[in-house]
Amino acid sequence: MRTVIATAAVVAIVGVAARVAPTASATTSTSGLHVFAINGRPYGVRTPIHVLTFSGSQYTVKIGIARQAIDGGLQTPSTMCQTTADCVAAVNGDLFDLTPRGTPDPGDEVGGIIQNCVLLHTPEIAHQQADLDGPSVSAGLNWSSAVDVNGASVPITAINQELPMSYVGVHLPLTGTLLFIPPYALQIPSAAGRVTYEFTQVDDSVSPTTINTTAELDFVALTTEPVKVRAGQVFISAPSNSTLANLQAGDTVTMTTTSTAGCDDIGGHSILLNQGVVTPVVPWNTYLVKPYARTVIGWTASGETILMTVDGKDEVSGATAQQLVRLLQSLDVVTALDLDGGNSTTFYAHGRVLNKPSHGTERPVSTSLLVVENP
């Protein structure tokens, strides 16, 4: 689905009808991992619904990133799974920005990404998040990062974000102090009145944006040309009159990144359930009010993880947010986040795509959720 997101105001409560136990079919189980289809007709959903569930420590949900690089292009969820050790299943992940036809398509993520305790991408706009280790959901990603330059703190505005950016409803100029680390695959943007500062990591065995840690960086040089980050480097794009302009080659600075989120956190839109509480939906939010193909991650009160997809066609078939909530509640889900949907909806398991994507073929996306068997 293309990125059209708004933070909804609270004006109406989603109605919840009495639960009707879903009818499961074609159930397959492998050492605690269950894959099955359910009948959504009791809830008004007439398209195929696929579900994966597991509990315990044998499996983990991990974040897959296209080509293992932020803004490095697009990749299908099945390919991300096939190229990840011990991956047994996958669904598509967060929404992403599609650039105009004829221009490079970096697949820039909308929400935040923390992978293995490293903050890889900060949210472009207000965006909901899921803590995969919690498990919990939140209205946004709590984070901060700042560079200390001789006692003066320089706050970081964004990490590994493609700026400037422009798509439906979003127009962000090249502003602020932007940090880039090696997973960023594109050239760092440049513009009049801005300078890019190059640093090397004192300890390049640990990512400089590991949350709740402090990293030391040695200043090397500055440039006004677009450049790409390589291993061991950190680049900061900032206005030419920032505090960073006082640096001399060889100076050492410290950078501290903090977050209250867990070590694996991904964005989505929107929160459907939060500890049993149904999230309100406003009538003008077309994506939630009308039927769409859906992808959801959720958890039951007992801690069981659930991934679910609903097939459909934009605004024609699939599930509304209200129907989706009722389906989830029938599976005893108490916390859930809606992920990207529409053409992106993919359910991969048993070595093949089990659902029917809207356009007939699996769509390349920027992120996915991978179910990985633990050693």
| pLDDT, tens digit (0-9, with 9 covering 90-100), for 89-134 | 999 999 998 766 666 666 788 999 999 999 999 998 889 999 999 8
> In sequence order, which residues have a C-beta less than 8 Å from that of residue 151 and are 6 or more positions away?
none
Give, for 287, the enclosing helix (H) or strand (E). Answer: helix 286-289
- Residue 330 is predicted with a pLDDT of 97
Give the SS3 label for residue 166. strand
Q: What percent helix, strand, coil does the chain show, rounded to 5?
A: 10, 40, 50
- Residue 107 is predicted with a pLDDT of 77
Side by side, the strands of the sheet bearing 277-278 are 23-30, 33-39, 49-54, 305-310, 294-300, 333-338, 271-274, 277-278
- Residue 190 is predicted with a pLDDT of 85
Positions of the chain with pLDDT lower than 50, given as ranges:
1-20
Residues forming a β-bridge with 87? 372
- Residue 24 is predicted with a pLDDT of 61
Contact 134, 286 (CB under 8 A): no
Phi, psi of 10 (to 5 degrees): -90, 110
Residue 113 identity = I
Neighbours of 129 (CB within 10 A): 27
Match domain 143-259 to its CATH number in 2.60.120, 3.40.1350, 2.20.28, 1.10.287: 2.60.120
> In sequence order, which residues have a C-beta less than 8 Å from that of residue 82 and are 6 or more positions away?
none
Domain ranges of the chain: 23-111+263-373, 143-259
DSSP 260: S
Which segments within 12-95 are labelled E, that is strand? Answer: 23-30, 33-39, 49-54, 59-65, 87-92
In terms of C-beta density within 10 A (0-12 exposed, 13-18 middle, 19 or more buried), how is residue 84 classed? middle
Contact 231, 204 (CB under 8 A): yes
Contact 112, 119 (CB under 8 A): yes
- Residue 10 is predicted with a pLDDT of 26
How many whole angstroms separate alpha carbon 324 and alpha carbon 373? 28
Terminal CA-to-CA distance of the chain, rounded, Å?
34
- Residue 134 is predicted with a pLDDT of 87
Which residue, among 267, 99, 72, 101, has the nearest Cα to 167 in the 3D structure?
99
Residue that has been written with the tokens 């680049």 in this structure: 235
Which residue, among 19, 83, 100, 26, has the nearest Cα to 355 in the 3D structure?
26
Give, in degrees to the nearest 5, the angle at Cα 190 between 187 and 191.
160
Which residue, among 267, 276, 277, has the nearest Cα to 339 in the 3D structure?
267
Give, in degrees to the nearest 5, the angle at Cα 97 between 93 and 100.
140
How many whole angstroms separate alpha carbon 166 and alpha carbon 235? 23
Contact 335, 87 (CB under 8 A): no
